[in-house]
Structure 1
């Protein structure tokens, strides 16, 4: 599964599995730019938080912005792309990622995800409720829905709950044969 030099590296996974954190480290290591799709959506909306965007316009509005951003990003080359957790919900997004790069699915246990979410001060603005249920029940429900989509998109799966950032990056670089 060698990495073609003219491709992007996409990081997918549920909230708080390390996409942005691993993305920063990988981008620095490879000398590639880091692109954060959620950040681009917020920037394009003049700084309106994802939570406010979803509350004002609904999830379908946000998902369309997500598709538009990924369409622009996937036209690029040699960049690390940290995606939003729900990017796999749109088949067009999965196809764009698969045809323009390699996709790494970052996973973590439900307990680890919950712990990370509770410790993340930005959770409220950046991670609006997906189901309206309690946190652990929401994680279980959404993971059950998305796991087959993550699996279908992934070229590589890395568990992040008991591994340091540098080791995760080492595994990705080695498994995909990426050179800076």
Structure 2
């Protein structure tokens, strides 16, 4: 039995030291998920706390099949979007002029922090769908159910996010050359 399995078993039995150890093992990874889908750091910290509470409430349901980290990740994503839907936030987004990949040179280099900055600047709905699809590798059907939109809206939001990113990359390259 590996160390993680031992910690999970102890958490299932209510061991607070094991819970603390599990928290320290995964807090930074789960916080990265929370910050990705939250409006600000304070909301992300709240989502992190709520996510771990849900993990410890539900840990007895973890069967040991599949990745424990993947199981936790789903909980954190669902917690974050559940709060988002509860607050029923609406966002008006701009129309984006179309930019084709032909407008952007091949063999370009953009620093990772610049690219992630562009993603963070996306309108919230677009950022959410883009991150769920590209980073978390979810399908549009799953994204639609999670975010509370239609599958078509998920596809449209992804396309618009990509268009905004292409435009930002094109503008960035214009000034960096």
Q: Shared fold by TM > 0.5?
A: no
Structure index of larger Rg = 2
Comparing both chains, which one has the higher relative contact order based on Cα–Cα distances under 8 Å and sequence gaps of 6 or more? 1
TM value normalised by structure 1: 0.27
